[in-house]
Amino acid sequence: MELLNVLIVDDEYLIRNLLRMRIDWQQQGMQIVGEAADAAEALEQVELLHPDIVFTDIYMPKVDGIELSERILERYPNIRIVVVTGHDEFEYARQSVKLGISDFILKPIRASELLQVTAKLRAGIEQERGRAYELAKLREDMKRSLPYLKERFVNQWLHGLLHENEVKDQVHLYGIPITANKPQSRIAIIEVEAAIPLQAGTSTEEAQILLRMEVLKRVQAYYQQDLYKIIIMDTNNRIVILAISPDAGLTEQVEQLQEELRHLLKAGGFEADVTVGVGQMYSGWEGVCMAYREACRALDYQTFAGKNQVICFEDLVIESHNGSQPYRSDTSLLQQLQFCVSVGAGEEAVSVLNKILTFPFTNVAQFRMAAMDVITECQRAAMEQQLEGEQVFNKEAVALMLMADHLPELKLLLEQHVRTITDVIQAKRQAREGNLIDQVKAYLEEQMGNADVGLSSTAAAFYVSPGHLGRLMKKETGQTFVEYLTQLRMKKAESLLKQTDLKGYEIGEQVGIPDPHYFSVLFKKQFGRSMNEYRNVRS
């Protein structure tokens, strides 16, 4: 740290000189930058020199050292002040500690006391400046991280992961201009799918990231002057435009943006599809989640309507003329359906499907929307299980479902679709589980001589839970894990007993049961006789 600046204030020259000469100030990391004979001169010096520390006498003409300290600290609270006082003045000086005076030195001034005071002052200033530096560094880091933190916050808000009070606090933290108690929101989501040619020195993933960043910058530039539009990338690498004030022109804006982005990508030599989903306007803090969900569903409709379009959710939900209830997705049931399909539970999935289709449909458009929801969830489940091809997405079958004019017909087609995908997933799971058990059996054959081999260690070796492995073993072998391993060890023990002259405890050690008594008990339980009896019968 650089030298600290010291100002000495005393109406007696000899005292000032004594303070100057008493210690090696430079060795203490300090330098005396000025002296003053009274308060008025001292205040001028403070303004001019900005000292870090002021040593001042108490008794001086016109304005004493206590009042001077008060004036200095009013304007410069970070300056450290040390009052030089006589014995008679000490109590008077101590009473003024509430002003913020850092320390006191008694006359006559001793070098040892002065060294203690200066050392303490320097340590305090270094500590304070260190904290200030760290705080400034943290603020700078936070400033740099603010865009990423803001993006994470908005994504949590979109997915309904925050309580209303948390949203309100963070909205102000990130400078999002919302003042209404029930803000209105509308959301558009832009999805860009581009075939990127391989370039030397650049991976496909890196090229995709760079392309998405370029598109994001273009969208941000489009709304640069609009404080009421928040532009982020969501967790699926799609660009989200969150409008936090009523904006009837959002659809027209994103139509223009879509065209601009397509031309931009084409000019850059990319074969790209740019599709936009737009939700409806919602009020309230939780309305953002619903607006986002609707925009996602509108975007999902590209599977049926085609890419390179702006798809508005309100155009998909057609209410009947008699004012009946419009169709709304039941998120909870759809999540249950996706889970059941994902685990290959066909009957449970059909049961959830029937619950979804209990909605009081009043027109064709409504139950086609429900069909689209079901097909979309089945697709997500298939993608989770890494299934592809005609077996899980038959375009002709999907077209029939979306063109069905009668609900009974549609129910039958959807049920067939759900069962087809769950059957494929279940078959794949069974094949995978069967293969896993084959690997576990081979592992146990190899490791049976290890006394530490058990359900937990084997499960850990294959990265599955002990409970899951135990259930699979029972299902595939008809035995518990322990029963299967014990039988395996006993068969090996029987073989060694027949083919070698090893003693019983030696055989036990070779099959992973080092306790001779326990091994004897297990052997007799398995074969109905002791090892000696077994050998005698063989002889």
Cα–Cα distance, 433 to 380 (Å, whole number): 22
Clarify whether residues 187 and 288 are in a common domain: yes
In a domain, 153, yes or no: no
Q: Residue 206: what pLDDT?
A: 75
How deeply is 207 buried, as exposed, middle or buried, from its count of CB atoms within 10 A (0-12, 13-18, 19+)?
Answer: middle
Cα–Cα distance, 214 to 192 (Å, whole number): 11
Clarify whether residues 417 and 461 are in a common domain: no
In a domain, 138, yes or no: no
In a domain, 136, yes or no: no
Residue 419 · residue 392 · CB < 8 Å: no
Is the pTM value of this prediction over 0.85?
no
Clarify whether residues 174 and 192 are in a common domain: yes
Clarify whether residues 48 and 74 are in a common domain: yes
Cα–Cα distance, 171 to 164 (Å, whole number): 11
Q: What is the pLDDT along the chain (539 residues), one digit of tens a residue?
A: 789 999 999 999 999 999 999 999 999 999 999 999 999 999 999 999 999 999 999 888 888 888 899 999 999 999 999 998 876 666 665 666 667 888 888 888 899 999 999 999 999 999 988 888 888 888 777 677 778 888 899 999 999 888 888 888 888 888 888 866 788 899 999 998 877 665 545 566 777 778 888 899 999 999 988 888 999 999 888 999 999 887 768 899 999 999 999 888 888 788 888 999 999 999 888 889 999 999 998 888 776 667 888 988 887 764 434 445 667 788 889 989 988 888 888 899 999 999 988 887 766 777 778 888 888 888 888 887 777 655 556 677 777 777 776 778 788 888 988 888 888 887 777 766 667 788 888 888 888 889 889 899 988 888 788 888 888 888 888 889 998 899 889 898 888 888 888 888 888 988 999 998 888 888 888 888 888 888 776 55
Return phi, psi of residue 394, to 5°: -90, 110
Cα–Cα distance, 243 to 368 (Å, whole number): 29
Query: What total number of domains does the chain contain?
Result: 4
Domain limit, last residue, from 322, 352, 376: 322
Q: How far is CA 348 from CA 319, 338, 344, 371, in A?
A: 31, 11, 9, 18
Clarify whether residues 96 and 62 are in a common domain: yes
Residues 308-340: b if buried by 16+ CB within 10 A, e if exposed? ebbbbbeebbeeeeeeeeebebbeebbebbbbb
Clarify whether residues 57 and 11 are in a common domain: yes
Residue 167 · residue 174 · CB < 8 Å: no
Residue 121 · residue 80 · CB < 8 Å: yes
DSSP-assigned beta bridge partners for residue 81:
54
DSSP symbols for 51-119:
-SEEEEES--SSS-HHHHHHHHHHH-TTSEEEEEE-GGGHHHHHGGGGGT--EEEESSP-HHHHHHHHH
Q: Supply the CATH number for residue 244's domain.
A: 3.30.70.270
DSSP-assigned beta bridge partners for residue 244:
none
- Residue 463 structural domain: 448-537
Closest CA to 421 of 350, 513, 503, 320: 350
User: What residue type is 317 in one-letter code?
Assistant: V
Q: Is the four-CA dihedral 348, 349, 350, 354 of positive or negative sign?
A: positive
Q: Residue 267: what pLDDT?
A: 84
Q: What is the residue whose two structure tokens read 């002296």?
A: 35
In a domain, 170, yes or no: yes
Cα–Cα distance, 458 to 467 (Å, whole number): 11
In a domain, 476, yes or no: yes
How deeply is 120 buried, as exposed, middle or buried, from its count of CB atoms within 10 A (0-12, 13-18, 19+)?
Answer: middle
Q: Supply the CATH number for residue 529's domain.
A: 1.10.10.60
Clarify whether residues 94 and 184 are in a common domain: no
Within 13 Å of residue 126, how many CA atoms lie on the same side as its CB?
12
Domain limit, last residue, from 289, 322, 355: 322
In a domain, 146, yes or no: no
DSSP-assigned beta bridge partners for residue 187:
242
Clarify whether residues 232 and 110 are in a common domain: no
In a domain, 71, yes or no: yes
Domain limit, last residue, from 381, 402, 430: 430
Residue 291 · residue 281 · CB < 8 Å: yes
Residue 219 · residue 241 · CB < 8 Å: yes
Clarify whether residues 395 and 347 are in a common domain: yes
Q: What is the residue whose two structure tokens read 């000469």?
A: 21
Residue 438 · residue 462 · CB < 8 Å: no
Residue 133 · residue 108 · CB < 8 Å: no
Beta strand 271-278 pairing with 310-312: parallel
Clarify whether residues 173 and 303 are in a common domain: yes
Q: Is the four-CA dihedral 316, 320, 326, 329 of positive or negative sign?
A: negative
Give the three-class secondary structure for 195. strand
Q: How far is CA 347 from CA 341, 358, 374, 510, in A?
A: 10, 17, 15, 48
Clarify whether residues 183 and 317 are in a common domain: yes
Clarify whether residues 211 and 90 are in a common domain: no
Q: Supply the CATH number for residue 9's domain.
A: 3.40.50.2300
In a domain, 152, yes or no: no
Task: Give the angle 470-348-398 at the CA atoms, nearest 5°.
Answer: 120
Task: Assign 3-state DSSP to the chain and report helix, strand, coil percentages, each to 5.
Answer: 60, 10, 30
